[in-house]
Amino acid sequence: MIHEIAVVSGKGGTGKTTIAASFAAIGAPLVLADCDVDASDLHILLHPTINKKEDFIASKVAVIDPDLCTDCGLCVTHCRYGAAYPPHIDTIACEGCGVCEYVCPTGAIRLEDKVSGMTYESQTRFGPMSHARLHPGEGNSGKLVTEVRKRALRLAQTSGLEKVLIDGSPGVGCPVIATLTGARLGIVVTEPTVSGIHDMERVLDLMARFRVTPLVILNKYDLNPSKSEEIEEYCREQGIEILGRIPFNPIMTESMVQARTLPEYAPGSGITQTLRSMWNRVVELLTEIERARGRH
C-alpha cells in the first residue's frame, strides 16, 4: 500500500517547504512530489538530478494560417475571450474552445497542442522525485498537480517505496484540491497570526470534505502565544491532532540560505529532534490507518 502524505498551508510563507524537506531527510528513502507547481522550490533544497523531462500539454490553442485568412473578422466576433486578432491569436487569452475553427469560412484556423509547462522525474539524495514547472501566465495548475502526483505514484511502484511525501500548494484553490484528493494524511503548517488561523480553518475544511486525515503543525508558535492558544483551542474543539510545535529559530532560515535541509544543517538541534518526533508520529498514524483499513 502506498501512502501519500501532503504538507500544505493556508497561505505561502509558513515554512511548509522547509518542513516538508526536513521530513524527506528524516523519512528517507521515500518518493517526493513537489505539487507547488506555481512556485516550486523544493528542488533548491534537494538538488535533484533530472532523469526525464517532458512537455506538459493540457489544452489547445488556435493558430491562423495567414495565407488562408481573408480577414473576414468572423473569428473576432465569435471569440468570447477576445483572443482573435487575425492573422494572430493571443495565446495567453485563447482558451482553445474551437469556436473560431468552426466559424472560419476558409479553414484558416486549426487547434494545436499548447505546452503549458514541463514535468520532471528526478533522483535526490532522499529518493526519487516528481516535479514540474508551469510556464508564466499559464493556468491548468490543478491538472499539472494531478500529473505530478500520478508520476510520483508510478515512481513509488517502480522503486518499491511505500511513502510519497507531497509538498503542496498554499491556499485552497484548484492545485490544493488536486494535491489533497485521495491523500492519506494532510499536514497543515500554520503560524499564530490572524490570517494564519483563518487560512488554516479553510484548508482544514477542505480536508474534511475530501476525507483526508488532518494534522496541524504550529510554526513559530512562541511569537504570539495567545494566537497559538486560539489555534490549539480550535483544534481541540474539532478533534484535530497538533502534530507539533516549532519555536521561532533563525536556523530555519539559515539552513534555507545554505540550500540544505534542517536535519542536515543542524542535526543536533532541538527543532530537528522535534521534527523527528513529528515524523515518528506520522509513521505511527499511517500504521494505524493501514491496520484499520485491513479490518474493513
- Site residues for ligand SF4 per CB under 6 A: 62, 64, 69-75, 79, 81, 83-84, 86, 89, 94-100, 104, 106, 108-109
CA–CA distance, 129 with 50 (Å, rounded to integer): 9
- 72/283 with CB nearer ligand SF4: 72
> Minimum Å distance from CB 138 to ligand SF4?
15
Q: By C-alpha distance, which of 59, 54, 66 is closest to 112?
A: 59
> Minimum Å distance from CB 116 to ligand SF4?
15
* Cβ-based burial of 217 (10 A; exposed 0-12, middle 13-18, buried ≥19): buried
- 62/155 with CB nearer ligand SF4: 62
> Minimum Å distance from CB 169 to ligand SF4?
26
User: 174-190 burial string, b = 16+ CB within 10 Å, else e?
Assistant: bbbbbbbbebbbbbbbb
Decide: helix, strand or coil at residue 186.
Answer: strand
Residue type at 112 in one-letter notation: E
The residue with cell 487569452 is: 93
> Minimum Å distance from CB 59 to ligand SF4?
10
- 90/201 with CB nearer ligand SF4: 90
> Minimum Å distance from CB 86 to ligand SF4?
4
Number of residues that make up the chain: 296
Q: At what angle do helices 16-27 and 270-295 cross, to 10 degrees?
A: 70
> Minimum Å distance from CB 257 to ligand SF4?
44
Structure-block grid coordinates of residue 35: 505539487
The residue with cell 519555536 is: 247
Q: Which residues pair with 63 in a beta bridge?
A: 110
- 77/157 with CB nearer ligand SF4: 77
- 99/266 with CB nearer ligand SF4: 99
- 79/218 with CB nearer ligand SF4: 79
